[in-house]
Every structure is written in structure tokens, then in C-alpha cells.
Amino acid sequence: MADEKGKSVQTTGHAWDGDLQEFNNPLPRWWLWSFYGTVVFAIIYWLIYPAWPIADSYTKGFGTVSYQSGGKEVTRHWNTRAELLQDLQSGSETLKQQAYLQKVAAASYDDIANDPEMSAFTQSMAKVLFADNCAACHGIGGSPARIGQYPNLRDDAWLWGGDIAQIEQTIEQGRNGFMPAFGEVLGDAKIEQVASYVLGLSGHQVDAAKAEAGRAIFQGQEGGCFYCHTTSGKGLPSQGAANLTDAIWTVADVPGAATDADRLKAVEAVIREGIQRQMPGWKGRLSTTEIKLLTAYVHSLGS
């Protein structure tokens, strides 16, 4: 066999030990070109993408990825994180969503409410926004874990008013819920009287004589409660003063009290200590459209 091959294959002409010859078998063309091709490919790849480690860094490559960040277009050298960010912003679903957002931004609140598709979109977007920004205080879906610190947004009782415009202002500007502490001004006996009057306003069983004395404090200069809660006790949305006649409680834990005495204590505690609560404003932290989505959502929770 070697002989046969020896005839068909060229030798280099060298011979050792008399008959040991060196064949001349060049690499096939296709193989050689493929090999050169991979070399060229590797060099181009190194130039475009991050490739070689140097000290505590690496060659970053000339390739770039652009994406939006904080309203500005930023360009980074190619990396998977930047590519993901770009993908999230320009994927076909995202583009559809952005187009729809613009439609919602241009629509009136009435249009949104009357268009089933737009209102479904608004609800689903707002739910996510609410979970991210509001649920820490107001609870998932708008019901806080317990009465006292944060108002429930699911009932139809509003401190600051439940109109679209009022809710939008609440979310955009924030609110300060403030009621002075009456502990030192009134003293225990009068606080018990005025608390009895307050509980009576929402139909609870109370000591009639104490409630009557409480009425004078509530409606007179001594307590001055009517300035904020009005003479009817129905509250004043411009002050964020609670409606005391609706049996819906936002600070005083009346529903959590088991007995008449405990209910009285819960109301007394609020009057004695006063209230200081703050709803942060979201203008500048959320976009106008995001605030609009949340307004429509919160409005729908209450009604």
C-alpha cells in the first residue's frame, strides 16, 4: 500500500536512511480558508465585544447599545445588561404598551371609564404601580392591615374627597392629616364626654348625659371640634377632617374594640393624642400619566 501511495503522492525529495521519504501532503484548500476565516472572525469579535482581560479591567470593544434611562438616551459599550434594558424598551409588546399609554394619557377620565378596553388596561397597569409605590402603606389592593396609620382606600369614605380631581391632588401633592392633641386642653373628664358625643354621632350606645355635655364642648369654643368637623360632624374634605357620623373609622380603632367601654377608650385616645399623618406627594417621582392611572384606579376602588 505504501508503495502505491508513494507513487501517487509527491515527496519533498528528502530521504533518510536511504529509503525514508517525506511526502508532500498540503492541507486541503477549504480547510485552510476556514481556518483563516476563524482567525479573522475572532479578531473582529474582539474588536466589537468585551474580550481580553487587562489588569483589573478588560477590553470593552467598540460595539454599543443605546437605551432610555431617566428620560435620556444613554449609550453603553455592549453588555448583556444594556442589551436587556434596550430589549425591554423596544420589544414589540413594550412598543404596543407605550402606544396604548399615550392613548390613555390623551384620553379624559370619562373616556377611560367608558371604554372597557382602556379601563382594563388602566386597571392592570395601575395595580402594578400601586403594588410598587403605595401598597407598603395602604396594603395590597388598598386595605391596610389595621386601622390607625393609613386610611383604607377601598371604602367610599374619603378624608380629602373622592372626586377624580381631589384624588389626583392627593396623589400629586400629598396631604397632611393633622388634628391637635386635646389631652392637656380638656382633661380626662371632658375628653370622655366629647368622645361619648362623637360615638353617639354614628349611632353607638352612649351615656346620654355625658354625650350632652360633650355636645357643648364639640360645638363650642372649648373644644372647637366643629371648626374642622363641621357642626353636623360630617367633616371637611378641605381640611382632611374625618366624617364622624358614618361609622367608618380611619384612626380610632372602634371596629377592633369588643365592648362599649373599649370603643370609648379608642375614641378618647385619638382626641387626647391628636393625629399627625402624612401622605407623601408623588409629583416628580411618578410621571403625569402614572398619576393619572393611579387616580383612575383609586377612584374605582372606592366606588
Residues binding ligand HEC (CB under 6 A) = 133-134, 136-138, 150-151, 153, 158-160, 167, 170-171, 175, 177-180, 182, 194, 198, 218, 223-225, 227-229, 239-242, 244, 249-252, 267, 270-271, 275, 277-280, 282, 294, 298
Residue 291 to residues 72, 121, 133, Cα–Cα distance (Å): 21, 15, 11
Cell of 276: 399627625
Q: Do the beta carbons of residue 252 and residue 147 sit within 8 Å?
A: yes
Q: Do the beta carbons of residue 165 and residue 183 sit within 8 Å?
A: no
Provide the minimum distance between the beta carbon of 259 and ligand HEC in the complex, in angstroms, as a whole number.
18
The H or E element that residue 207 is part of is: none
Backbone angles phi, psi at 104, to 5 degrees: -65, -40
Question: Of 156, 247, 249, 267, which Cα lies nearest the Cα of 202?
Answer: 247
Q: Which residue has the cell 358614618?
A: 246
Measured CA to CA, the distance from residue 194 to residue 212 in angstroms comes to 9
Strands 20-23 and 175-179: unpaired
How many CB atoms neighbour CB 215 within 10 A?
19
- Determine if residue 16 is left, alpha or beta; phi over 0 gives left, psi from -120 to 50 gives alpha, anything else beta: beta
DSSP 252: S
Q: Select 206 or 251, whichever has its Cβ closest to ligand HEC.
A: 251
Question: Of 148, 150, 170, 151, which Cα lies nearest the Cα of 160?
Answer: 170
Ordered DSSP codes for 209-239: HHHHHHHHHHHSTTT-HHHHH-TTS--BTTT
